[in-house]
Amino acid sequence: MTDKGKVLITDKVDDLLIHGLQKLGYECDFRVGISQEEVDRIIIQFSGIVITTKTTLYKTTLEKAVKLKWIARAGSGMEIVDVEYAKSKNIICLNSPEGNRNSVGEHALGLLLALTHNIVRSSKQTEKLIWQVEENRVIEISGMIVGIIGYGNTGSAFAEKLKMFGVQILAYDKYKTNFGNEFVKECELKELFELCDVVSLHVPLTNETLHLANENFFNQFKKKIYFLNTSRGKVVDTSALLNAIVHDKITGAGIDVLENENFSSHTSTEKNLLEQLIITGKTIITPHVAGKSFSSQKRFAAVLLSKIKEVEQL
């Protein structure tokens, strides 16, 4: 075993990854909760870095990374890495969207069922000894038309979970074709807008998808919809979402992500928007946990270790 240099691990990862890196000859420096300033100060020492969501690797940081050979993102979203600049420095960028596809698919389904079956609302009422039956009569999703925007790992996983529910699935992906099958019909956005009862977002955050779900987006739906977002918060314009709920274009919204997930830094406008979303009584909001299952943490490690081993063979 040769000395490959040091790897900085900035957040909790499964031991499988740490032990695997050590077997490859890396020295692992494990620093949970390290600040961005500290990363910038010490990154000059490292040949590799493993990050989750709390560390950003933009140009100002990567300029200091003179030894860095690879970046491993435990998760899917690469908006926290300046990938193009990294490539210009011959730094290989890896991520692991395969790791949490199942968890996100299950969570999206859970949000949809919670909305249509009034699970959260009726549970809160019952806790207050309010027993309302007719007011909480449920809506079955069987027979609904479900639209999926983005048919990558999590979009396809959500479709797999829906198969047994007797729904019709339409899927749109700007960058993929020929993925339709006996359960999923590949379509254009226009068809989603015209037919869907449910729409679920499964796209990465890029300049192209920033505020994809805006005022114009919601106005194009011909039916009232259930709206789900388990991708990234900034894919949705929060004010447009609130407006669509208030104007009865959305029956219910299940969202696992927010534009700003750091409550302590919320502006008065952001605070008010969140409060208003909650007040509508038509939202279920979870704290970006869709992909954070106990199983997905181990899968992230296994996927990244496999990809790092491939890099080592180049």
pLDDT digits (tens, 9 = 90+) for 191-219: 999 999 999 999 999 999 999 999 999 99
pLDDT value of position 304: 96
The tokens describing 230, both together, are 């388990």
Instruction: Tell me the C-alpha distance between 146 and 162, whole Å.
Output: 9
- Tell me the pLDDT tens digit for each residue of 246-292: 999 999 999 999 999 999 999 999 999 999 999 999 999 999 999 99
| Among 283, 221, 291, residue whose Cα is nearest residue 254 | 283
Answering whether pTM is above 0.75, one says yes
pLDDT at 2: 59
Low pLDDT (below 50) residues in the chain: 1
Domain(s) of CATH 3.40.50.720: residues in the chain:
5-99+294-312, 140-281
- pLDDT (0 to 100) of residue 53: 87
Backbone angles phi, psi at 75, to 5 degrees: 145, -165
Long-range (24+ apart) CB contacts under 8 A made by 222-225 are 222/193, 222/194, 222/195, 223/195, 223/196, 223/197, 224/248, 224/249, 224/250, 224/251, 225/196, 225/197, 225/198, 225/199, 225/249, 225/250, 225/251
> How far apart are the C-alpha atoms of 46 and 55, rounded to whole Å?
15
Q: What is the pLDDT of residue 153?
A: 96
Query: May I ask the CATH architecture of the domain 5-99+294-312?
Result: 3-Layer(aba) Sandwich (3.40)
Torsions phi, psi for 94 (to 5 deg)? -120, 145
β-sheet bridge partners, residue 227:
199, 253
Class of the domain covering 140-281: alpha beta
Beta strand 48-51 with 5-9: parallel, antiparallel or unpaired? Answer: parallel
**Cα–Cα distance, 249 to 222 (Å, whole number):** 9
Within 10 Å of residue 73's Cβ, how many Cβ atoms? 24
Sign of the torsion formed by the C-alpha atoms of 7, 38, 51 and 91: negative
The distance in angstroms from the start CA to the end CA of the chain is 17
